[in-house]
């Protein structure tokens, strides 16, 4: 790295982990230590009386809780003493030890002394807490060039250099805290309009529900409560935290901890299986609370979700598929999550630091999937035949390489094969996406139950997609490898594909009976109508299926001429989306969009 005069580093001083970054050649980069980018925000005194920070301190947390401190960020701004063994410290002194380690890491990585930093703090930090952060930096030998809000930093990662007026929600779900901020960016200046959160809601709480579920099962099986023994409790927590992370990409995990306890002189081993569906049910109340906070933050900023230009995901817990799914449903678009959510805040701090230094910063380069990849799935019968939907497995904008699994079931008990039809695209109906591969998995029948099928997608950096379908009960499995999955579906190609499908659709009309034909004609007529006039009337069928949505649309149409032009545009596209959802017969999308429209009407009235 070329030496530069008194460089400024960006620091995310986090509750669970801290990160340091710097801009090099116009690109923000995280500075690591032996490959480790995250520094656990933990400080301790080891049995030899030496100061330890990071992983070493975290490793002694269970064995020496009275000599170790984690989550000091929660205590910044208070003067409560922190005891480590026989010594006491102030919270800024503890934070200074973490900052000192990050400063040393940066100096080593860039090969020159570092004395200046931009440090991030939560938007809700008061002046006292910000002052304590400045003191910590000063104790660590760092001059604070600027303290910036974490949502501001995350916004900078995705929108640095943009001068357009934008309204962005930053949803930050970390290990110990959750907060969501609505920011406005105008002429390069970022202002936090509102911020809501819960300082006692984080990934740790999700670990705890899993700990409870596994410990309760163990107690029922062996009559031993693992939570009563500090060592067992710690091992259980570690295993559950790992299982939680694995469940972000796997459908099922096995938790195995040998010799975790003993009973009547006999060792006891822990073995538990947890499925993603079960985990999602356990954490659903927490996720709902975060969505409520998002709604509150929007209300406080006097905005609707529809007026947001972007939704930025920050914090490790945003990797949980349920979190992303709920946000996608709320936002009705893909949230921004291309940058590693653990690193986004530090990278943004580095962007701010470079701006202070007068360096130009380009957009952050990341490899992401350009299109959603998934399979065709059956979603019930309509009078026109089976309703086949697109079931996404890897969503658009996911960083590469990506690996995700999804579980399905067969339609009937005695089904002896399943067809896996791999699709690429963004449309809810299967046939409106591009087909990129197809294969069959033969199954073993018996047992009188529907078979569970797990489909895994592995997408590499060079665009090779490996699709694996497995029947877990028997281990039967089949693999399909598709080359160039990333480049297959360019925009013009997609248009051609759609036109071709549309043509095939008309041709196949000859084969349909009268009832099917009228359904399809109606479908096509509605589709054409939507292209022409977004606010046109909806069909009889939609009217009878979704009467509330129709009433809302009528209200929206009556207001369309009397609202401000920016709102009118929003109103028009929301109406068009709602009509699309009604045409597609997608009750979830209709409910979501109706709520949106209701919200918007409330504000424009
Ligand atoms: P942060 O404070 O942003 O570093 O977030 C740390 C939290 O994110 C911890 O609770 C981790 O367990 C959680 N986390 C990290 N990676 C994942 C993942 N892949 N799936 C679920 N949670 C994760």
> For 90-105, how does the pLDDT look when each residue is reduced to its tens digit (9 = 90+)?
999 999 999 999 999 9
* pLDDT value, residue 565: 66
Q: 244 in ligand 1 pocket by Cβ < 6 Å?
A: yes
Higher pLDDT, 125 or 353: 353
Same domain as 573, residue 515: yes
Same domain as 316, residue 180: yes
What is the number of alpha carbons within 13 Å of residue 283 lying toward its C-beta?
Answer: 29
Mean predicted confidence (pLDDT) in 4-26:
93
CA distance 18 to 106: 13
Q: 174 in ligand 1 pocket by Cβ < 6 Å?
A: yes
The alpha carbon dihedral of 485, 489, 493, 494 has a sign of: positive
CA distance 505 to 520: 9
Q: 245 in ligand 1 pocket by Cβ < 6 Å?
A: yes
CA distance 208 to 302: 35
CATH of residue 204: 3.30.420.40
Q: 337 in ligand 1 pocket by Cβ < 6 Å?
A: no
Predicted model pTM: 0.74
Same domain as 183, residue 329: yes
Same domain as 500, residue 545: yes
Nearest to 585 by CA among 379, 410, 406, 433: 379
Residue bearing the CA closest to ligand 1, atom 15: 316
Contact 391, 378 (CB under 8 A): no
Kind of pairing, strands 373-382 and 310-314? unpaired
Q: Which secondary structure element, helix H or strand E, spans residue 439, and what is its range?
A: strand 434-442
Ligand 1, residue 172: give the atom nearest the CA: 3
Q: Is 172 a catalytic residue?
A: yes
Ligand 1, residue 176: give the atom nearest the CA: 2
CA distance 566 to 135: 45
Q: Is 330 a catalytic residue?
A: no
Inside any domain, residue 57 = no
Ligand 1, residue 203: give the atom nearest the CA: 10
- In our burial notation (b when 16+ CB lie closer than 10 A, e otherwise), range 445-468 reads eeeeeebbbbbbbbbeeebebebb
Residue bearing the CA closest to ligand 1, atom 18: 245
Contact 466, 457 (CB under 8 A): yes
Inside any domain, residue 270 = yes
Nearest to 573 by CA among 555, 543, 553: 553
pLDDT band at 587 (very low <50, low <70, confident <90, very high): low
Q: In angstroms, how far is the first alpha carbon of the chain from the final one?
A: 57
Contact 249, 394 (CB under 8 A): no
CA 594 to ligand 1 centroid distance, Å: 33
Nearest to 274 by CA among 226, 207, 325, 332: 207
Same domain as 321, residue 206: yes
* pLDDT value, residue 283: 98
CA distance 374 to 455: 9
Q: Which of 285, 318, 337 is the last residue before a domain boundary?
A: 337
Segments forming the whole domain that contains residue 583: 491-604
Mean predicted confidence (pLDDT) in 205-228:
97
Same domain as 508, residue 443: no
Q: 306 in ligand 1 pocket by Cβ < 6 Å?
A: no
Same domain as 495, residue 468: no
CA distance 601 to 113: 57
pLDDT band at 146 (very low <50, low <70, confident <90, very high): very high
Same domain as 251, residue 382: no
Higher pLDDT, 174 or 598: 174
Same domain as 515, residue 465: no
pLDDT band at 3 (very low <50, low <70, confident <90, very high): low
Contact 597, 578 (CB under 8 A): yes
Same domain as 286, residue 249: yes
Q: Which secondary structure element, helix H or strand E, spans residue 570, and what is its range?
A: helix 565-584
* pLDDT value, residue 423: 94
């Amino acid at each position: 790295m070329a030496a530069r005069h008194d460089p400024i580093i960006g620091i995310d001083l986090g509750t669970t982990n801290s990160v340091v970054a710097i801009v090099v050649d116009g690109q923000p980069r995280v500075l690591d230590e032996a490959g480790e980018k995250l520094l656990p925000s933990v400080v301790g005194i080891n049995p030899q009386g030496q100061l330890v920070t990071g992983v070493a301190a975290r490793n002694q947390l269970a064995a020496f809780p009275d000599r170790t401190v984690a989550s000091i960020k929660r205590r910044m701004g208070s003067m409560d003493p922190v005891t480590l063994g026989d010594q006491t410290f102030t919270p800024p002194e503890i934070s200074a030890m973490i900052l000192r380690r990050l400063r040393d890491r940066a100096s080593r990585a860039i090969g020159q002394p570092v004395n200046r930093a931009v440090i991030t703090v939560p938007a809700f930090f008061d002046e006292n807490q910000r002052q304590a952060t400045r003191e910590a930096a000063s104790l660590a030998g760092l001059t604070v060039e600027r303290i910036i809000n974490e949502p501001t930093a995350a916004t900078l990662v995705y929108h640095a250099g943009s001068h357009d007026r934008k309204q962005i929600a930053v949803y930050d779900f970390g290990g110990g805290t959750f907060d969501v901020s609505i920011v406005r960016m105008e002429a390069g200046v970022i202002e936090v309009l509102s911020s809501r959160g819960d300082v006692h809601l984080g990934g740790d709480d999700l670990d705890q529900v899993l700990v409870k579920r596994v410990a309760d099962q163990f107690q029922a099986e062996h009559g031993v409560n693992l939570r009563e023994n500090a060592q067992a409790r710690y091992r259980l927590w570690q295993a559950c935290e790992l299982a939680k992370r694995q469940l972000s990409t796997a459908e099922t995990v096995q938790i195995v901890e040998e010799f975790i306890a003993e009973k009547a002189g006999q060792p006891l081993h822990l073995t538990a299986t947890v499925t993603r569906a079960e985990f999602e049910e356990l954490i659903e109340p927490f996720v709902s609370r975060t969505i409520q906070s998002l709604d509150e933050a929007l209300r406080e900023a006097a905005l609707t979700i529809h007026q947001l230009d972007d939704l930025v995901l920050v914090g490790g817990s945003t990797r949980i598929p349920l979190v992303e799914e709920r946000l996608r449903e709320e936002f009705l678009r893909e949230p921004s999550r291309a940058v590693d959510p653990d690193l986004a805040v530090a990278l943004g701090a580095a962007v701010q630091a470079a701006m202070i230094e007068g360096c130009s910063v380009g957009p952050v380069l990341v490899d992401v999937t350009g299109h959603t990849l998934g399979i065709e799935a059956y979603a019930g019968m309509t009078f026109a035949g089976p309703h086949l939907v697109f079931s996404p497995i890897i969503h658009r904008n996911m960083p590469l390489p990506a690996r995700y699994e999804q579980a399905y079931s067969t339609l009937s008990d005695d089904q002896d094969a399943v067809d896996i039809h791999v699709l690429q695209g963004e449309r809810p109906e299967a046939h409106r996406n591009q087909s990129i591969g197809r294969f069959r998995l033969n199954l073993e029948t018996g047992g009188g139950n529907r078979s569970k099928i797990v489909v895994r997608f592995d997408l590499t950096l060079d665009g090779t997609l490996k699709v694996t379908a497995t029947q877990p009960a028997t281990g039967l499995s089949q693999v399909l490898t598709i080359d160039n999955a990333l480049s297959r579906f360019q925009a013009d190609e997609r248009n051609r594909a759609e036109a071709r499908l549309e043509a095939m659709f008309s041709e196949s009309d000859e084969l349909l009976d009268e009832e099917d034909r009228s359904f399809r004609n109606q479908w096509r007529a509605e589709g054409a109508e939507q292209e022409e006039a977004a606010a046109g009337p909806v069909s009889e069928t939609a009217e009878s299926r979704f009467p509330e949505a129709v009433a809302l649309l009528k209200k929206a149409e009556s207001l369309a001429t009397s609202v401000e032009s920016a709102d009118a545009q929003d109103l028009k596209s929301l109406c068009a989306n709602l009509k699309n959802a009604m045409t597609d017969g997608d009750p979830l999308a209709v409910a979501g969009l109706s709520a949106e429209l209701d919200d918007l009407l409330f504000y424009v009235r």
